[in-house]
Amino acid sequence: MSGLPRGRSTEPPIDSRAFDLLCLTMALVLGLHAMHLPWWLDLMLALVLGWRWWQRRRQSGHVPRWIKLPMLVLLTLAVIVNYGNIVGREPGAALVVGLLVLKLLETESIRDVRVGVSFACFALMTALLFDQGLVATAVVVLGLLPALATLRALEPAQAPGSLQRSLLPGLTLLAAALPLALLAFLLVPRLSSPLWGAPSRDQATTGLSDSMTPGNLTDLLTNDNPSMRVSFDGAPPPPDLRYFRAYVMWTYDGRGWHYTPTPPTTATTPAPIDVDRAIDYQISLQPTHQRVLPTLDVPLAAPAQARLQADREVFADKPVNDPLSYRLRSALRYRLQPTLDDRSRRLGLRLPSGFNPRTHALASQWRQQYGDDDAAIVRAALALFHDGGFSYTLAPAPLGRDAVDDFLFGTREGFCEHYSSAFTVLMRAAGIPARVVTGYQGGYWNELGGYLLVRYSDAHAWSEVWLAGRGWVRVDPTAAVRPERVSLGAAAAAGDQLAWYRNDWLQGLRNRWDIVNRWWDKGVIGFDALRQRGLLTPFGVRNTDTGMLAILLALGSLLFIAVGLAWALSKRHLRDPLRASLRELEQKLARKGVARTVGEGPRHYLQRAARALPMQRDELVALMRSYLELRYAHDEPPPESLRTFQRAVRNFRPVAVVK
């Protein structure tokens, strides 16, 4: 039995190179998860990681338990206090990253490093639970490079080199693994539901909301991520007709507008519509975790597994938790609900009492001035916005209890929510049925891809007023203040507030890059179980079952292994660079009279050469030791060490032979 104390490791401590690479690996994991964690946790973990790196460079050894245990307890309590539990995507990721950084406090042996690298690779993969886009996936893959470099640094006789030279072998390994990864992607059976649990709270806020309070669209208007892509059967509609309906809101409480899930009218069927012009198109919608499906105003029917509501909104049967494509036919020129029933009229005129007295007074003045001419009152309101000193801004002043009064007669600044809300209140106060509609407006027409790119920043709100003989008519009061919002898009309407966004070069690059993202969404993220079952359709197999996929996966894996083995063997037999360098050294020594005899091993030969060339004894002994280590200490000599040996052989110049 050994006399060592129990619990102590017999492994020698790792060198600073391996520890530095492990710290870099963990720093990349922390950076990749930084946007998903609370800022204070990011800061604390970064300080712990930096302190541990600095502390070990001064003196190796484990951090005392009286420091580690309180940190572990504090981490667990912090996750529970912030998230309410440790189960779920966000708290689970926070706990995993925190434990990974704390693992560094007790990392001193080779085993500790290997455990840390394995744990870091798992933490890298968890980042894909938050974002599976092309850039995020590429960053996760590149994050494996320092992990592979750390493992290589544990191998014996690794010559120190630059960070770039340390990462290059890992890049080669990743490139060699791509064919097998592609094979697994295509043939490993897909699950019908994700492994991770239900969507979290922050997922549910993605996209448009079923309520609208002036100011709450700001986050969407500054969100540059794609919301949906629209392909048309034929030419796209002009910019002034690119309105995508989501929620129709009737209920106003004095502060904001709300969507009522139950139909506001007694009708159970969609409102009647007379169509003058229609268009067919297809929408590829990003996950919103909501049921509403944006449609080009106004849809004539609902797609499969969705319903057309009374106000011609479209709602899916279940939340859109994955990318969804659906085809639609919409009217561009129409008369929507030419006649209005009494219940709908009452709902379209309802206002809470005790709010916005100055707005009511202005509406009454218009009614007295224009009599029964509702269209004239609409024009008067639009003229007010156009000529009344109003401005478009994404950072408006806050509003008080009488929000519409404050906006119309005080601040006179805001964006689409402010204008649509104030306009609709004015119309109701003047006796004109009106409602608010939220959705998207505009988008970028991608000529190269042949589709309309609609981003979250294209979120918009407008009004609909009911006019006799015309039905519900769309009125966009924001266009009266800033026509560029409709003709040129949301970025143009923001003016100097988003000057960087309007840069032609940057905007063109972003929109062209979206073609790549679209391919990734359709070809990779959208590769589901249904598409996998039709994988062999071009070869006459209509439905590829799990058994067939398993057979193909096994055959493909065997083929991949056979090709890799044949390549490795052929490379080894055709060229042995270490042996070639030794032959070069032998030739140089032979020209000075030190020839290698038959059956003489490299060790004895180089020892004899060192005795024969005493002035270069140390150099020859170093070459002998390097050769023996490279030949017999590894299955394959490390590339860095091999290149160092080759360089030393090329630079060796025998001087003279002592007789």
Please give, one letter per residue, the 3-state secondary structure of 39-103: HHHHHHHHHHHHHHHHHHHHCCCCCCHHHHHHHHHHHHHHHHHHHCCCCCHHHHHHHHHHHHHHH
Q: Are residues 499 and 620 in the same domain?
A: no
Residue 525 within any structural domain of the chain: no
Residue 4 within any structural domain of the chain: no
User: Which distant-in-sequence residues (6+ apart) come within 8 Å of 590 by Cβ?
Assistant: 596
Task: Give the Å distances, CA to CA, from 397 to 196, 211, 418.
Answer: 42, 20, 11
Give the range among 47-56, 186-195, 207-216, 238-247 with minimum mean pLDDT: 186-195
pLDDT band per the 50, 70, 90 thresholds, residue 159: low
Residue 91 within any structural domain of the chain: yes
pLDDT value at 483 more than 70: yes
pLDDT band per the 50, 70, 90 thresholds, residue 203: very low
Residue 286 within any structural domain of the chain: yes
Residue 419 within any structural domain of the chain: yes
Residue 633, SS3 per DSSP: coil
Q: How many CB atoms lie within 10 A of CB 243?
A: 24
* Final residue before a domain boundary, out of 489, 505, 521: 505
Nearest to 630 by CA among 648, 617, 616: 648
* Domain span including residue 144: 16-156
Q: What is the pLDDT of residues 545-576, one digit of tens each?
A: 777 878 888 888 888 888 878 877 766 555 67
Q: Are residues 216 and 146 in the same domain?
A: no
Q: Are residues 117 and 225 in the same domain?
A: no
Average pLDDT over residues 504-521: 73
CA 111 – CA 245 distance, rounded (Å): 58
Q: Report the sign of the C-alpha dihedral through residues 521, 524, 530, 535, in that order.
A: positive
Q: Are residues 488 and 614 in the same domain?
A: no
The catalytic residues are 416, 460, 476
Residue 451 within any structural domain of the chain: yes
Residue 518 within any structural domain of the chain: no
pLDDT computed for residue 498 by the predictor: 52
Nearest to 444 by CA among 523, 513, 521, 526: 513
Q: Are residues 237 and 333 in the same domain?
A: yes
Q: What is the pLDDT of residues 330-375, one digit of tens each?
A: 999 999 999 998 988 999 999 999 999 999 999 999 999 999 999 9
Q: How many domains does the chain have?
A: 3
Q: Are residues 480 and 399 in the same domain?
A: yes
CA 32 – CA 528 distance, rounded (Å): 26
Q: Are residues 86 and 217 in the same domain?
A: no
Residue that wins the pLDDT comparison between 87 and 265: 87
Average pLDDT over residues 646-656: 86
Q: At what angle do helices 617-632 and 602-612 cross, to 10 degrees?
A: 170
The top-scoring range by mean pLDDT among 149-153, 190-194, 311-315, 634-638 is 311-315
* Final residue before a domain boundary, out of 129, 156, 183: 156
* Final residue before a domain boundary, out of 455, 479, 505: 505
CA 463 – CA 474 distance, rounded (Å): 6
Nearest to 99 by CA among 76, 130, 125, 82: 76
Q: What is the pLDDT of residues 426-442, one digit of tens each?
A: 999 999 999 999 999 98
CA 406 – CA 399 distance, rounded (Å): 6
Q: Are residues 215 and 152 in the same domain?
A: no
Q: Are residues 71 and 144 in the same domain?
A: yes
CA 452 – CA 580 distance, rounded (Å): 61
pLDDT computed for residue 490 by the predictor: 63
Residue 630 within any structural domain of the chain: yes
Residue that wins the pLDDT comparison between 280 and 321: 280
Q: Are residues 107 and 217 in the same domain?
A: no
Q: Are 382 and 420 in contact, with CB atoms under 8 Å apart?
A: no
Q: How far is CA 482 from the centre of its chain?
A: 32
CA 182 – CA 171 distance, rounded (Å): 17
Residue that wins the pLDDT comparison between 485 and 335: 335
Token couple for 468: 């006799």
pTM over 0.85: no
pLDDT computed for residue 191 by the predictor: 61
pLDDT computed for residue 299 by the predictor: 95
pLDDT value at 315 more than 90: yes
Q: Are residues 238 and 376 in the same domain?
A: yes
Local structure of residue 287 (DSSP, 8 states): P
pLDDT computed for residue 4 by the predictor: 41
Q: What is the pLDDT of residues 540-550, one digit of tens each?
A: 667 777 778 78
pLDDT value at 195 more than 50: no
Q: What is the pLDDT of residues 40-78, one digit of tens each?
A: 999 999 999 999 999 888 877 777 888 888 888 999 898
Q: Are residues 135 and 226 in the same domain?
A: no
CA 592 – CA 430 distance, rounded (Å): 110
Token couple for 372: 């029964």
pLDDT value at 127 more than 70: yes
